[in-house]
Structures are given as C-alpha cells and as structure tokens.
Amino acid sequence: MAIALTMSRERWLAWLCFMPLAMALVGCEGLLPNVGGPPPNLYTLTPKSSFAKSLPQVNWQLVVEEPVASGGLNVDRIALRGTPTELKYFARARWTERAPRMVQTLLVESFENSGAILAVGRKAIGLRSDFNLKTDLREFQAEYFGSDGIPTIRVRLNAKLVKQPLRAIVASQTFESVIKSGGKDMDQVILAFDKALGRVLRHTVEWTLSQPRG
C-alpha cells in the first residue's frame, strides 16, 4: 500500500507540472502568472523653443528626414556604455518610440518653434521641399566611464543640407553635446539626455537656417 501511495503522489506531481504547458497550448496562457515583471517606464524628450536673437527668417520649405542610426541605436531602448566598445541598455526603461524617430519629431517641432521658416515637416506628409535635412545619429547614450557611477550623456548628430530637386549637398556639419548627469537616478539621467539633445537641436536649427539659399 505504501508503494501504491508513492506512485500516486509522483503521478500527481507530474500532472501538476504538465498543467501549465497544457493550458498554454489551448490558449489559456492568460491564466498563468506574469513572470515578465512590471512593464518598463516610458520616457520622451522635449523640443527646443529658444534660439539666438540673430536667427534669420527664411522663405523656403524644409523636409526633415528620419536620422540614420546604427542597429544598436535604432531601437526604443535607452542605450548605455560601460566601456567604449560595449553597448547595453537600461532595464525597465524605454523611449516612447525608436530613438531616430523621436529625434526627427523633436527636430521638426524645434524648427516650428523657431518661427523662422516658411514650412517644415516630415517626408511622409508629401511636402514639396526646397531643402531636405539628412542626419546621422552617431551617439545617443549614457556613458559610465568614471568611477563614481554617475553617467555622462553623449549626443552626436551629423547633418547635411540637401538642395532639391538637384539633391546636391550644400552644407554639412556635426553637432555634439556631452552633459554630466546630476546623479544616478533614472529621472536625472533622462534630464541630462534632454539637456544634451536640446543643445544639439538648437545648434542644428540655427545652423540650418543660417545657410544661404544658394
């Protein structure tokens, strides 16, 4: 009898182990506990709204294309580097959209906020432009190279102003900003991202609008 009870217990344990798999196979995985943990916190950055008083007014139309970025930056995850040769991401933290798409949106809004251009928009809206702004997002990460555990945010953007319909590059410039975070907290890191990108946005807008129509 003792042997029979032992076998029954083993079968019962085996059945308990099998039940979650069976439930998943019949589409009942929603009944299982969420082992993935809480959803990530979502963050976004802000456009620029203040520019040099000498900013010229231009009467041409501009299309801002989505920045080109490496595969490691062309994601909605927030990148960090522990060494110059590694790329990782913050856990439980995401941008609200892919980083290049977010930067494109903020560039368009920054140009609009300048009040100094006839029209600006994305290529997708069908705007017939006089110029296209092509950009390359080359750095967009928090760098933990120091010993204090507080990151430095680095943003680097290469911009090319292309005259249409000739598709000729009339000017090219790289803008870089490096900002030390105020602390280790994620909100402080995001604030440093906002300041670093804000400088790059402002310089990009001012540089673009200062180029002769030619």
Domain ranges for the chain: 2-31, 55-209
pLDDT attached to residue 11: 56
Q: Determine the pLDDT at residue 123.
A: 78
Q: What distance separates the 2 farthest-apart alpha carbons in the chain?
A: 98
Q: How far apart are CA 36 and CA 183, in angstroms?
A: 28
Q: Which residue has the tokens 């062309």?
A: 74
DSSP 84: T
Q: What pLDDT is attached to residue 19? A: 46
pLDDT of residue 38: 86
Q: Cβ distance 75 to 98 under 8 Å? A: yes
**Residue pointed to by tokens 């005259």:** 163
Sign, CA torsion 72/76/77/80: positive
3-state secondary structure of 143: strand
Task: Please give the CATH number for the structural domain made up of 55-209.
Answer: 3.40.50.10610
Q: Which residues does the chain have with pLDDT short of 70? A: 1-36, 124-126, 213-214
Residue with tokens 């790059």: 200
> What's the confidence (pLDDT) of residue 23?
38
Torsion of Cα atoms, 173 then 146 then 88 then 97, to 10°: -50
> Phi and psi (nearest 5°) for 170?
-100, -15
Q: What confidence score (pLDDT) does residue 8 get?
A: 53
Q: What is the pLDDT of residue 203?
A: 98
